[in-house]
Each structure stands twice: as C-alpha cells, then as structure tokens.
Structure 1
Amino acid sequence: MNEPIRDRLVSLRRSLHRYPEPAWREFYTTARLVEEIRAIGVDELAVGPDAYDPADRMAVPDADLTPWLERARERGADDALLERMTGGNTGAVAVLDRGEGPAIGLRVDIDALFIEESTDEDHDPVDEGFRSEIDGTMHACGHDAHMTWGLATLEAIAESDFSGRLVVFFQPAEETGGGGCPMAKSEFAEELDYLLAIHVGLDHPTGEVVAGIEKPLAMCHVDATIEGTSAHAGKAPQEGDNAMHAMGTAIENVYGIPRHSDGMTRVNIGKAEAGTASNVIAERAHMEAEARGETTALMEYMERRLERTVRSAAKMHGCRATVDVVSKSPRADSDPELQALVSEIAGDVEGIEHVLPAADFGASEDATFLMERVQQDGGLATYVIVGTDHPTSHHTPTFDVDEESLRHGLDVLVGTIRELEHRHPVPQVDEMADGGQVDDVAGGGDAEIDE
C-alpha cells in the first residue's frame, strides 16, 4: 500500500470488487477503506457510530449480521474496528482540515447487491481473476469504482496545497436507501459550501460526463404484512381469513392507484409470499413494495395511497395489515452553478470527449439527503455521472466497468475541488439574476399534494 493510489486505481478497484458486502454488512469493506485512509493521513476519521447516529439509519436488516462480521474477521479486518461496527454500523467519514477556504463534501457509496456474479469466461472479472468471492453478492452497480474515486481523490487533495476543508463520506446502504439520511443528519454535513456526489456508467459511455443530474425520483421502500386466520382448506374454509387472498386483492388494487397530473409517479410490488401448504388457508402474507414520484410530494402521495390500498384490501378479507416505510429519499436536483463548473473541468480532462451539462436521472438515489441538506443550508450540490462502457446493465450478473473511466472520474473530481477552492464563493443563480425570482428546481417537492 506504499504505492500511491493514483498509480493503482485498477488493482484497488479490483480488490474491492472481490469482496462485496450488502447494506449494513460492509464490515470488511469499511475496514479496508480505513486502512487506506490511515495510510493517506487525514485530520479526522470517524467510523460507524462516530460518523452518524445509528438511530437515524433506515432499512437495517432483521437478519443476524454476525456471519458477515465473522467473515470479515477471518479475512483480517481489525478487531477494534469490527467492535465499533457491531450491529451493522458500517461506513466512515474522512476529513482534511487545511486552513481557510471552502468546505467541500464528496459522497461515495460502498455497498453491494444480492446478485450472483456471472461465471462466464467472457466476463472480465472471471477472465482477469477478480470475480466476487462471496456467493450471491456482487458489486453490480459500480460502487467499487466509487470507493476507488473517494480514496484516490482524498489522497490527491491531501498531497496538494489545498486550502479548505474536504469531507469524504464513504456511505453504506445506498442500495436500500438506508445510509444517506444518517450521514446527512450528522455533524460532518454541517456548514458545507459544496457537495459532490458521483456515479459510474448509467448508460453513458466511456469518454462522456454528465455534470449534474436532474429529476431524480423521490422514493420509499415499503414492507407490508397481512395477518389472517388459518383453517383447513377442505374441511372448514369458512373459518379462515385468507391472507393470501387479501394480498392478491392488494396487489391488483395497488397497480390501479391513479397516477397524478402534477408529474411522474411509480409503484411496484417486487416481492410477495404467503402460505404454508395447499390445504391450509394462509394466515400470513408479506409484500415488499416501492413508490416513487417526480417530486417528494408526489412520492408521498403514492406512499399514502399504497398504504391505504393495502389496509383496505386486508380489511375486505377480514384480515389485518401492518405497513412499514423502511426507507425513503427525497428529490434534490443538481445546482446549475456547479453543473457549469464541472462541465468546464470535465471538458479539459484527457479522454473525455463529450460533456452533458445535465441529464434526467429517472431513478432514485439517497445521496439526495446530503444534497438537500447542503442546499437547505445555503450551499450548492451536484451529482456527476462519469460514463463507462459496461457490457450489460447495472444490477445484472455480468455488469462491469471500463477501467479507463477510473482516471476520468478522478481527474474530474480533483479538478472540480481545486477549482471550487480558487473560485469560492461561487455566485449562485439568484445572486446573479439581478434580483429576479428563482423557481424551486425541485419542482415543489415540499408542497403537499391533494388527493
């Protein structure tokens, strides 16, 4: 690890790819990050419960996390670090405090997905020997590249004559929408002048950069349980209250929720299970669903309708429903001032041939918690996409990144941070508009939607 990260971007990314850990289970991943951060040398390093309030976490799994912790221990993770992460308090925040200047945040995510990585010999991680070593788990969304960017950027700024404060959030649990909220509520997100978030690919090719996303969908994950009464399906079916039948009604009716004229809305039930045997009236059913909206208010409209529909379906069949929102994230758009600056920097990076000032996101991301926090405090935020050629889509067993894009992302981030240092304070649109009124770029996300 004596070799500078900038000279081992590929090997670092591959080592992180080999050991993927899903949300709130990133024990070895966090320990590996801490090892690199300590070698860089920072002014402050907070791990797990020192980086955020554990009570603010969302979508914390009910499953026993001990096997994941012990696997990390067997792999050589530091025992003292693992002790601090007990209960799934993973992730870290690294701070460089280098005198007068802007306070800049950089957010990268660190979790993996429950996907079995391809064993096809044509899949580069197989051919090159860095396929996932944990069965059923994979970095299928590029977070291994994101972590590499976070570490390499931290190192580059630490070795420079940077003046200001750089806070790098190594955020857990993005895929479940559970980690952005606690980090946004933490002391480390206070008084940031700027926030950069970054993602690889998303159907943008190698050599292309999007300086800032627009219209990310606000999102909520919902778990619903329906409880009825079991009975013998042949002898006394009338004595049962069929939770499976109620669930079927709920599913049918949820997809019939009216869409809203104010903007795009989405709803989906992605998992449903019920019953124990063919001759038993099912007494319990469970569903996992999500609702999204073009604004936070539209998402909340769909969330309320989803909950009401499930409860009504349960009641219709003599059952009871419990509906829990396990995580959610707001809409937050990139600020045009930072989009313009990133566009300028990216246009001068070797290998980047096409820069898009903005692009619609069309999906959801809990980096919006941090973006919203910074924007509400008067700062600016943007979410950058660094293109990469990937053979198949994100969240598939054969996803991979073109490692040429690792250098592109690093150069864009470092160049943007240094330029923010030199230009601070960057004038905001309303300050340049000669007193003109600026519309809410989030599309009225805080206004309540009538039903």
Structure 2
Amino acid sequence: MLSLEKLINIRRDLHQIPEIGFQEHKTQQYLLNYIAQLPSERIEVKKWRTGIFVKVNGTNPKKMIGYRADIDGLPITEETGFEFVSEHDGNMHACGHDFHMTIALGIFTHFVHKPVNDDLLFIFQPAEEGPGGAELMLQSEIMKDWKPDLITALHIAPELPEGTIATRPGLLFANTSELYIDLVGKGGHAAYPHTTQDMIVAACSLVTQLQTIIARNVDPLDSAVVTIGKITSGTVQNIIAEKARLEGTIRTLSVESMQKVKERIEALVKGVEIGYSCRAEIDYGAMYHQVYNHESVTRDFMKYVSSNSHVNVIECKEAMTGEDFGYMLEEIPGFMFWLGVDSPFGLHHSKLAPNEQALETAVNLMSDYLTFKANQN
C-alpha cells in the first residue's frame, strides 16, 4: 500500500503536467514509467492512443472488474499559488483528474502486491473533458477483449467534507451536449447601421430567447439547463459586427428533454435567421450520455461502505454535471460516486484546492471493496 506521502508526491507530479484531451503524452509516459517500476509477472499493459489499459491477472479468475480514471486537464490558467503549480501555461487539473489518476495508481499498486481471485482492469482514459474518450475506448479492440463484468469510477466533490462519499442508484449525472451557434450577417460602418445586419444585436437577442426554453418548454417537474458561456463578435468599436459565435452547454435529466431542448433551440435560431436577415449554423459538439448507476450494485456498494469502513456514505441528489463514464455504464453494470475533498473552490475553478488526505481515504476504501468483490467466487 502506498503511503499518504507517496500518494501526495504522485498527485503533485501529475498536477504539474496537465494536458488537454488526446494530447496527454507526458501524462501517459508518467503513468507508464510508474507501472514499469512494479513487479510485472501478473501485469499486462496495452496503450490506446494517449490512454492505457492495465490488467492485473487474478489467481483464479471467474470475472473481470474494471476501474476507470480520467487523465486529461482543462484549458484554465491556474491561480492556486501552489509550489507545484502547473508547468503548462493555460492548462490546469481543475477537475481533479490528478486525484483520479493518483487514486487509481494507489489501488493498482495494492493489487500488484496483494493478488485476488478475479482479474482487475485499470483504465486510464484520455479526453473526458472533451471531445470524449470513454465511448471510443469502449469501442476499441482492446476493450472488446478485456470487457469488464463490473466497472466503477469516482469523481472528486469539492463541496463534500473529506471522509465522505456520495452516490445514488439510478441517475447520477445529466445528459450533456455542447452548443455552438455561428451567425453571419453583413458588417459595415457604425454610422450606417441601416446598411448592415448587426450580429451583435442578433446574438444578444438570441441569448435572451434561449433563456425562455427552460421556463416555457421544459416540464417544471423535470430539470434542464441551457447556458451560454462565451460570445465572440466584433473587431473595433466603430465597425458593426458581421459575425458572432455563441458557445454554451445543454444539460438535461432525461433523453427526451434533451431532444425537446434541441428542437426549441433550432426553432429559435431559424427565427433569428429570418428576423435579422442572417445565416446561422448549429453544432452540438460532444454529447455525453447520462451517468446511470445500476441499482443493485450501487446499493450493495453503499451497504458495504456503511458496514465495513469509517467513510461516511450518503445518498445524494442527481447533478447536472456531465461525465462520459455514462457510456461505459450503458454497456457494463457498475456505478460512479462522489469523493469528498473539502475544497473552498469548486470544479473547473482556477483555485481548486482538494484536501490531499482524500487520496488515502479513496485508495483504502476501494482496495478493500475491490478485494471483497474480486474474492466473491
């Protein structure tokens, strides 16, 4: 078992080299170098793009249990002030994937030295933040050969205290879709607006209209979100903008609501085209399937934690967070849970500061749980 000090050192090493989706070359090499230092007689390693599959062969295998950790960072400039701040300008592990990888390595190390009956598969997945690595990994020839019978994963939760985990049977994370809308009109001199089609005005109008979708087109007993997080338009103060680009996200708790929201977006955009004499294009970018925890295994996990550990387990509400682990759960029974890390700043924040004690908490908990599951022959 890795000590907390060693786990912290690994986490800080990984924290300094965040890389965005499918560019995780340094990260992949760090993980491979670590794996290569361990006894290799029961380990099989296969690279997949910038990700890794690592199989730990059991002593009397009758099933395979998977554990997934995502490995990419975010295009965020870090403002934590840590001594181990990101060395990659403009990139940061602002979603805790440095924690996720470290915990996976800690669990993996435990089982290299303490074999169990069943095979264990550790999946180090790239591109969770985009464009989406889980679905592609699931479709790979490697995972067709090494398809787990059960799979699990965790995600840090800054708002929960260290020593607490949270999950629920059924829907945990929402259906998500990126949203990109490009508007093209006619630019011109600010003194002659009547000769132009102003795309800043069109974009502002569209943003306001998009906010009516949730209020007037989604069942009040359901939940959905349409957020425009970025608008790009214009060049200088005295030129009317010819183009505008809106970038945002859609989150829904049901597949049906996602379809309804998209239909309404398309209708509103068509209206803007007519009303502002412009052209428009919509791109939904990456779309992530909901994270839906399988009922029985999730209940069993929660019961196990309550009875066999000092970790506090609570049943949480579903969240509007997106996670491409949902694709794996669509095909493989399993679950995801939140790991409390007690940070004053939340996910995707430039000052995210998780409590490193949670590394040891998670490694101990999942090593014990997976030992229990892998010896149930």
| Global fold match (TM > 0.5) | yes
Q: Which residue of 2 aligns with 1:310?
A: 269
Give the counterpart of 2:322 among 349, 357, 364: 364
**2:286 match:** 327
CA distance in 2, matches of 1:118, 1:234: 42
Query: Which residue in the other structure is 2:18 paired with?
Result: 20
* Aligned residue type for 2:250: A
1:384-395 matches, within 5 Å, as 384-395=337-348
Q: Which runs of 5+ in 1 are unaligned?
A: 50-89, 121-125, 375-379, 425-451
The Cα of 1:285 is off from its aligned counterpart by 0.9
Opposite residue 271 of structure 1, the aligned amino acid is K
Distance 2:183 2:13 in 1: 43
Partner residue in 2 for 1:228: 185
* 2:248 pairs with one of 289, 293, 296: 289
- Give distance in 2, aligned partners of 1:119 and 1:286: 31
Aligned to 2:77, the other structure's residue is in SS state coil
What is the aligned counterpart of 1:210 among 166, 169, 172?
Answer: 166
Match of 1:46 in 2: 46
Q: Look up the match of 1:10.
A: 8
Verify the 8 A CA contact 1:93 1:170 in the aligned structure 2: yes
Cα distance in structure 1, aligned partners of 2:319 and 2:199: 37
- SS of 1:393's partner is coil
For the pair 1:403 / 2:356, whether they are aligned, the reply is yes
**What secondary structure, in the 3-state scheme, does the structure 2 residue paired with 1:333 have?**
strand
Gaps of 5+ in 2: none
Alignment of 1:110-189 (within 5 A): 110-118=71-79, 120=81, 126=82, 129-176=83-130, 178-189=132-143
Instruction: Spell out structure 1 runs of 4+ moving beyond 3 A.
Output: 3-7, 40-44, 187-191, 211-215, 347-351
Q: Give the whole-Å Cα distance in 2 for the aligned partners of 1:13 and 1:348.
A: 29
Show the counterpart of 2:67: 106
1:355 partner amino acid: V
Partner of 2:208: 252
Q: Which amino acid is the alignment partner of residue 39 of structure 1?
A: Q
Cα deviations by residue, 1:178-237 (Å, 9 ceiling, x for unpaired): 2222123234444421110111224211111225464411110011111122233324x3
Q: Output the amino acid matched with 1:45.
A: V
**Displacement of 1:356:** 1.6
Structure of higher RCO (CA pairs closer than 8 Å, 6+ residues apart): 2
Structure 2 residue aligned with 1:269: 228
Question: Matched residue of 1:355: which SS?
Answer: strand
Distance 1:223 1:5 in 2: 45
Q: 2:373 aligns to what?
A: 420
Is the Cα contact below 8 Å between 2:116 and 2:375 reproduced in 1? Answer: no
Which structure has the highest strand share of the two? 2
Give the C-alpha shift of residue 358 in structure 1: 4.9
What does the per-residue CA deviation read over 1:127-156, in whole Å, with 9 as the maximum and x for residues that have no partner?
xx2122223322222111100111121222
2: distance between equivalents of 1:241 and 1:300?
31
Tell me if the contact between 2:117 and 2:375 (Cα under 8 Å) persists in the aligned partners: no
The 3 A distance-change label for structure 1 pair 183 and 5 is farther
Q: 2:54, 2:123 within 8 Å by CA — same for their partners in 1?
A: yes
Name the aligned partner's letter for residue 341 of structure 2. Answer: T
TM-score (norm 1): 0.75
Give distance in 1, aligned partners of 2:181 and 2:97: 29
Deviates more, 1:93-102 or 1:412-421: 93-102
- Would the aligned equivalents of 2:19 and 2:72 in 1 still touch at CA under 8 Å? yes
Q: Give the secondary-structure state (helix, strand or coil) at the position aligned to 1:116.
A: coil
In structure 2, what is the Cα distance between the partners aligned to 1:6 and 1:157? 17
Amino acid at match of 2:72: D
- Identity across matched positions, percent: 26
User: What secondary structure sits across from 1:8 in the alignment?
Assistant: helix
Give 1:338 shift.
2.0
> What is the SS of the residue equivalent to 1:390?
coil
**RMSD of equivalent CA atoms:** 2.4
Distance 2:262 2:122 in 1: 32
Q: Relative to 1, partners in 2 of residues 1:94 and 1:300: Cα closer, same or farther, differing over 3 Å?
A: farther
Aligned position for 1:383 = 336
Q: Is 1:351–1:408's contact at 8 Å kept on the other side of the alignment?
A: no
* TM-aligned CA distance change 1:102 to 1:119, over 3 Å: closer
The separation in 1 between residues aligned to 2:274 and 2:33, in whole angstroms, is: 54
TM-score with structure 2 length normalisation? Answer: 0.89
Letter in 1 for 2:239: V
Q: CA deviation at 1:357?
A: 4.5
1:200 aligns with 2:136: no
